[in-house]
Amino acid sequence: MQTPSRRSATSSRWRSDCAPARRRPLTSGLRIVEGDRATTGTDYDLAFLGAGINDVWRRFQNRMPEAVDLDEYTRHFDAMLDRLGGYTRTIIVVSETPFGPVEDPGTVAAMNTELALYNDAARAAAAAHGAQFPDVWTPFTAAARHLAPAGAVAGGEDPGGLWSDGVHLTELGDTVLLQQAERLLAEHQIVNKLLDYPLLERDAALAAAGA
């Protein structure tokens, strides 16, 4: 007799802004990945991973002990993908969205130039680990241009825009991000493929389920 193997259907996304204050954002993200596995021992069907915006932002805030340079970012991002790859069927690495009017236009342009390098590193790491990488930067930037108020003020709240403060997303910004994730899931039929569990012999299936 054959029985479908059992895995938890859990979707997770670790972002660098999950990090507690006074900790280096990306290294804290790595601790989250390691701690989650050590605590629950759960296998994941689908995991979303994104990090980078705080690692860049902290340097421009002159909070250097919390900033993470590109080389360190790349090493830790690879490490997170290594950990996740051991117990996750499908990983989706989501690029960071660009900075909005959090500073003067020249500074924001410099911040986004640097953040794009971090996204490129994440894209390369995703490819090396066989993970999907939806580019949310381009559609997000296009939406921001259509919605940008004529007198946008650095750090000011714009309820009708994509950012609440130039960094954190509004509900509309989250919706734009969600649409890109949904498009990727549909185009690659990711959920349907995840529902097609491999068949195992009864004893092997019970062992996989922890029964």
Residue 50 in this model has a pLDDT that exceeds 80:
yes
- Whole-number percent of the chain with pLDDT over 90: 51
In which band, very low, low, confident or very high, does the pLDDT at 3 lie, cut at 50, 70 and 90?
A: very low
CATH no. for residue 54?
Answer: 3.40.50.1110
Structural domain of residue 65, as residue ranges?
Answer: 2-209
Whole-number pLDDT of residue 23 = 40
Residue 26 in this model has a pLDDT that exceeds 90:
no
According to the 3-state scheme, what is the secondary structure of the chain? CEEECCCEEEEEEECHHHCCCCCCHHHHHHHHHHHHHHHHCCCEEEEEECCCHHHHHHHHCCCHHHCCCHHHHHHHHHHHHHHHHCCEEEEEECCCCCCCCCCCHHHHHHHHHHHHHHHHHHHHHHHHCCCECCCCHHHHHHHHHHHCCCCCCCCCCCCCCCECCCCCECHHHHHHHHHHHHHHHHHCCHHHHHCCCCEEEHHHHHHHHCC
Structural domains counted in the chain: 1
Reported pTM? 0.76
Q: Which of 90-94, 112-116, 199-203 has the lowest mean pLDDT?
A: 199-203
Mean of pLDDT values over 2-13? 34
Dump pLDDT digits (tens) for 74-113: 999 999 999 889 889 999 999 999 999 999 999 999 999 9
